[in-house]
Amino acid sequence: MEKLMAALKAQIVEQLNLQEVKPEDIGDDQPLFKDGLGLDSIDALEIIVLLQQHYGIRIANPEQGPEIFHSVRTIAEFITAHQTAK
Amino acid sequence: MYIYIQGTGCVSPQETAAGNALPATVSPWEGARLKAWEPDYKQWIDVKLIRRMSRVIKMGVAAAKLSLQEAGVEKPDAIITGTAYGCLDDTGVFLSKMINQQEEMLTPTAFIQSTHNTVAGQIALMLGCHGYNNTFVHKAFSFESALLDSMMILREGRLRSILTGAMDELTNHSFNILSRFDIYKKVPVTHEQLLKSDTHGTVAGEGAACFVLGTERGPNTKARLSGLTTLYKPAGKAEISADIDAFMAAHNCSQSEVSLFINGRNGDASGDEWYEHVENTIMAGKPVATFKHLCGEYPTAASFGMWMGCRILAEQQVAAAAMFKGEVPEKFEKILIYNQYKQTHHSLILLSVC
Amino acid sequence: MNSNVWIAGGGVICGIGNNLPECLEAFKRMEPGMAHMEYLHSVHRHTFPVVEVKASNATLAEWTGMPEHISRTALLSCVAAQEAWNSTGLGDISQYRVGFISANTVGGMDKTEDFFADYLQDTSKGHLNQVVHHECGAITELVADAMGIRHHISTISTACSSSANALMYGARLLKNNMVDVVIAGGTDALTRFTLNGFNTLMILDPAASRPFDDTRTGLNLGEGAGYVVLVSDALAAELPATRQPWCRLSGYANANDAYHQTASSPDGTGNFLAMQGALEMSGIKPEDIDYINLHGTGTQNNDAAEGAAIARLFAPEYPPVSSTKSFTGHTLGASGGIEAVFSAWSVKEGIIYPNANFHKQMKELPFAPVTKFTAGQELKHVMSNSFGFGGNCSSLVFSKNAQS
């Protein structure tokens, strides 16, 4: 889980071109959207593609985004659950 | 009703974004491609927004901010931009990925940022400006259409200030492709040689220039936008002469009142014949200044010419590097700007001191 | 300065018809145009239905007299612009000072994407004639040149509201006496670029779109072109008795939502301001509007925001509303032009267009769209909405009588 979360942080910083944010600056439970890291709905769509590219996970309904993408930990949990389910 | 130029801002291959003036020394360039001198955009744009912005958006926003700052206007009543190519970099990114990835696993950011109205939309978003917002994308009439729309709206009398401007970026793809159309110099020239090269082709440029136009004088207002017209595909040089005559007459401006003639000479021998014709006929004996050796050629380069004209009127002096022929006048009252692009799109802008 | 702007005619081509009469037939018969892609080549051809114009580039070229190899966007534009001009009875175009203001969103992208496939392999490859008309303005010029228009030409691109803004600019040119007549509207052909772009936003419906339906999940892309012909009082008075103007363009306004790059604000601030501004210019009240041709894309976000803005402006009485995109698909830069033609014709013939695929009223809205075609009603004022990315919101009002 720790390893997965570290990888996710690096991927998020890279994919979203988060200038002046280092992967280690992102807390495991820090909210990613709004007042947390300040991401928005466009970033949510970027993360959906990121999960597809790196983890082979498809999210067909963007409405699921806010729940799954709450924090790095919730994304990691979703990935783990989804990959074991396969 | 007079239309005042309350503020100006410019990002160009010269250091115009630093002090909002044309520096005395020209930034040298080589080859056939001039790149914009870019300021530190973080002074105007939040880092959260900057991460998605391509150069054309940053240049446009910076020029907009500079002009608003000079005008002392926080939020204009309308925002109108012109761009011939739009957001080429993002277009190229999305197009390349779409082709290379066979239409799979694409992300939205480049697509969203590729639309031509991105710059005007971003400025509105940053300023919280709910007013009229429009973007013209007609080749080398993009800037002129934006100006004309602004002038017509101001004359309706309901709005007081309009942010208007033009921006175009050059990317590696666009430079490669445009080069294949044989429009740039094959032999390297310097800024001093370009306008006297007498050979085929010019050099590529880019930049953004913005203006705050208003119906009243602002604290830093030094110039008026007295007139504007465009001419599409004139049959020949006689037609442009007739058009300039009619334009001057329509604005009650005699030849003798023009202090300086600024034109769009770009070093391309056949294109420069148009300017030479006007220099030797209607504008005979007038001092001539030029600007494409400073900003390069691009469809909205007339916006750089207008910016330069505004600075000359404001400072009552012209940089030596901009002078092409004739004596520098003692006073600058009226400036006529004539630009044409690929001999197809011709435009005239008349500026007056105030 | 304050003269009226009249609609002297119009022309349209889209996925439900190659001209206005054919489109009207499709509305009457309740036949939306969503289908599998036939002319657009995309890996998504079996995933997303589109609303294509049912004619090949060769056919369009034959109709217009333009070369077949140019962008489909220019070919579609020429078909509709020619129909628009011919519908006016103004005759020889060369006797007027004519403006051609055409909007589009991606210029000659349909050809650029073919070019780019070769170019990315080797930057010295790719046929230059496929990229020479890449710029939005090039599309307008191809058509202006073909029709012999050179007095004033321009191109506008504000995403999905583009052509509505072309009408506004055209009206200003007339009011400033810069031209005698303006052909204003827009064009867009389907491209892989836009299809894939909208797909990344996850707002394409794999079934036929359901605008203003509670179960809506996205839009279908369409293609086409639509133009109206704008004339001043002086020229309107010269029109033959058999070709009287359809109506007036009495009001228009453009506002920016300034909320988000692609999404509308939840309360539709920009939408509200655009509609309010257009009413104000027309000098009428909300209750004077007899029909609204909605932007109505079928996305969650648009319909909620547009609906909220209408509820705020029109409460407690709502005029009949419908989205003709439920037939034509979302034709992007052309939509404002196509819908301007439908709306202006609506005033002339008293037509209220149906909204297809509607079943369930949106729970947050106190009104539902009209689902049946009706004609011969007394419609004095019709509103047409066009909203787009970048917060660009525009509304037009078409009115029956001369300003009193």
Task: Indicate whether C26 and C76 sit together in one domain.
Answer: yes
Q: Which of residues 273-312 of B touch A (CB under 8 A)?
A: none
- What would the mean pLDDT of C128-132 be, rounded to a whole number? 97
Q: What per-residue confidence (pLDDT) applies to C403? A: 52
With an 8 Å Cβ cutoff, is B131 touching chain C?
A: yes
Distances (CA, A) of A77 to A5, A8, A80, C92: 9, 11, 5, 71
pLDDT tens figures, C33-50? 999 999 999 999 999 999
Domain that holds residue C226: 5-243
Please state the length of chain B.
354
What secondary structure does DSSP assign to B83-119, as a single string? -SS-SHHHHHHHHHHHHHTTT-S--HHHHHHHSTTHH
Task: Indicate whether C129 and C236 sit together in one domain.
Answer: yes
Q: What per-residue confidence (pLDDT) applies to C1? A: 47
Residues of B within 8 A of A53 (CB-CB) are 105
CATH of the domain at C142: 3.40.47.10
C-alpha C205/C-alpha C168 separation (Å) is 31
Cβ atoms B34, B296 nearer than 8 A: yes
Q: Which of C14, C23, C160, C393 is catalytic?
A: C160
With an 8 Å Cβ cutoff, is B106 touching chain A?
A: yes
Q: Which helix (H) or strand (E) holds B180?
A: helix B172-180
Q: Is C330 a catalytic residue?
A: yes
Backbone angles phi, psi at C214, to 5 degrees: -60, -25
Task: Indicate whether C186 and C255 sit together in one domain.
Answer: no
Backbone angles phi, psi at C141, to 5 degrees: -70, -35
Assign C404 a pLDDT band (cuts: 50, 70, 90).
very low
With an 8 Å Cβ cutoff, is B108 touching chain C?
A: yes
Residue B337: CA atoms inside 13 Å, Cβ hemisphere, count?
29
C-alpha C61/C-alpha C75 separation (Å) is 6
Task: Indicate whether C282 and C239 sit together in one domain.
Answer: no
Whether residue C404 lies inside any domain: the answer is no
Domain end call among C214, C243, C272 = C243
Does position C114 have pLDDT exceeding 90, yes or no?
A: yes
Backbone angles phi, psi at C348, to 5 degrees: -65, -45
C-alpha C114/C-alpha C232 separation (Å) is 43
C-alpha B132/C-alpha B76 separation (Å) is 10
Say if strands C247-256 and C5-14 run parallel, antiparallel, or are unpaired.
antiparallel
C-alpha C52/C-alpha C66 separation (Å) is 20
Task: Indicate whether C229 and C351 sit together in one domain.
Answer: no
Q: Quick check: B117 and C388 CB within 8 A?
A: yes
Least confident span in A17-31, C26-40, C369-383: A17-31
Domain end call among C213, C243, C273 = C243
pLDDT tens figures, B322-339? 999 999 999 999 999 999
pLDDT tens figures, C331-363? 999 999 999 999 999 999 999 999 999 999 999
- What would the mean pLDDT of C128-155 be, rounded to a whole number? 97
* Paired tokens of C285: 């009240």
pTM over 0.90: yes
> CA torsion, points C327, C14, C320, C105, in degrees to nearest 10?
110
Summary mean pLDDT of chain A: 90
Q: Give the neighbours of chain A: at least 3 Cβ pairs within 8 Å.
A: B, C
Q: Which of residues 191-230 of C touch A (CB under 8 A)?
A: 200-202
Q: Please name the amino acid found at residue C84.
A: A
Q: What per-residue confidence (pLDDT) applies to A83? A: 80
Q: Give the neighbours of chain C: at least 3 Cβ pairs within 8 Å.
A: A, B
Q: Quick check: C200 and A49 CB within 8 A?
A: yes
For chain A, domain boundaries: 2-85
- Number of other residues whose CB lies within 10 A of the CB of residue A64: 13
pLDDT tens figures, C67-107? 999 999 999 999 999 999 999 999 999 999 999 999 999 99
Summary mean pLDDT of chain B: 96
pLDDT tens figures, B213-267? 999 999 999 999 999 999 999 999 999 999 999 999 999 999 999 999 999 999 9
What single DSSP character describes residue B268?
B
Q: What per-residue confidence (pLDDT) applies to A65? A: 80
Q: What per-residue confidence (pLDDT) applies to B276? A: 97
Q: Quick check: A42 and C200 CB within 8 A?
A: no
With an 8 Å Cβ cutoff, is A62 touching chain B?
A: no
Assign C402 a pLDDT band (cuts: 50, 70, 90).
low
Q: What per-residue confidence (pLDDT) applies to B100? A: 97
Task: Indicate whether C237 and C266 sit together in one domain.
Answer: no
C-alpha B2/C-alpha B159 separation (Å) is 13
Least confident span in A31-45, A68-82, B160-174, C270-284: A31-45
Q: Please name the amino acid found at residue C14.
A: C
Domain end call among C199, C217, C243 = C243
C-alpha A75/C-alpha A82 separation (Å) is 10
Q: Quick check: A41 and C260 CB within 8 A?
A: yes
Task: Indicate whether C58 and C203 sit together in one domain.
Answer: yes
Does position A20 have pLDDT exceeding 90, yes or no?
A: no
What secondary structure does DSSP assign to chain A, as a single string? -HHHHHHHHHHHHHHTT-TT--GGGS-TT---BTTSS-B-HHHHHHHHHHHHHHH------GGGHHHHTSSHHHHHHHHHHHHHH-
Please write down the HEC assignment for all residues of chain C: CCCCEEEEEEEEEECCECCHHHHHHHHHCCCCCCECCCCCCCCCCCCCCEECCCCCHHHHHHHHCCCCCCCHHHHHHHHHHHHHHHHHCCCCHHHCCEEEEEECCCCCHHHHHHHHHHHHHCCCCCCHHHCCCCCHHHHHHHHHHHHCCCCEEEEECECECHHHHHHHHHHHHHHCCCCCEEEEEEEECCCHHHHHHHHHCCCECCCCCCCCECCCCCECEECEEEEEEEEEHHHHHHCCHHHCCCEEEEEEEEEECCCCCCCCCCCCHHHHHHHHHHHHHHCCCHHHCCEEECCCCCCHHHHHHHHHHHHHHHCCCCCCEECCHHHHCECHHHHHHHHHHHHHHHHHHCCECCCCCCCCECCCCCCCCCCCCECCCCCCEEEEEEECHHHEEEEEEEECCCCC
* Paired tokens of C18: 């190659």
Nearest to B340 by CA among B144, B184, B82, B63: B144
Q: What per-residue confidence (pLDDT) applies to A19? A: 86
Q: Quick check: C391 and B121 CB within 8 A?
A: yes
Task: Indicate whether C234 and C372 sit together in one domain.
Answer: no
Does position C387 have pLDDT exceeding 50, yes or no?
A: yes
Task: Indicate whether C309 and C225 sit together in one domain.
Answer: no
C-alpha A18/C-alpha B46 separation (Å) is 12
C-alpha B269/C-alpha B266 separation (Å) is 8
Does position C289 have pLDDT exceeding 60, yes or no?
A: yes
Total domain count, chain C: 2
Task: Indicate whether C49 and C76 sit together in one domain.
Answer: yes
Does position B128 have pLDDT exceeding 50, yes or no?
A: yes
Task: Indicate whether C224 and C261 sit together in one domain.
Answer: no
Q: What per-residue confidence (pLDDT) applies to A82? A: 86
Q: What per-residue confidence (pLDDT) applies to B19? A: 82
User: What is the separation, in whole angstroms, between the first and last Cα of chain A?
Assistant: 18
* The CATH number, out of the four listed (3.40.50.300, 3.90.420.10, 1.10.1200.10, 1.10.3720.10), of the domain defined by the range A2-85: 1.10.1200.10
With an 8 Å Cβ cutoff, is B101 touching chain A?
A: no
* Paired tokens of B251: 């604005």
Q: Quick check: B145 and C261 CB within 8 A?
A: no
Does position A38 have pLDDT exceeding 90, yes or no?
A: no
C-alpha C100/C-alpha C184 separation (Å) is 6
Q: What percent of chain C has pLDDT over 70?
A: 99
Summary mean pLDDT of chain C: 96
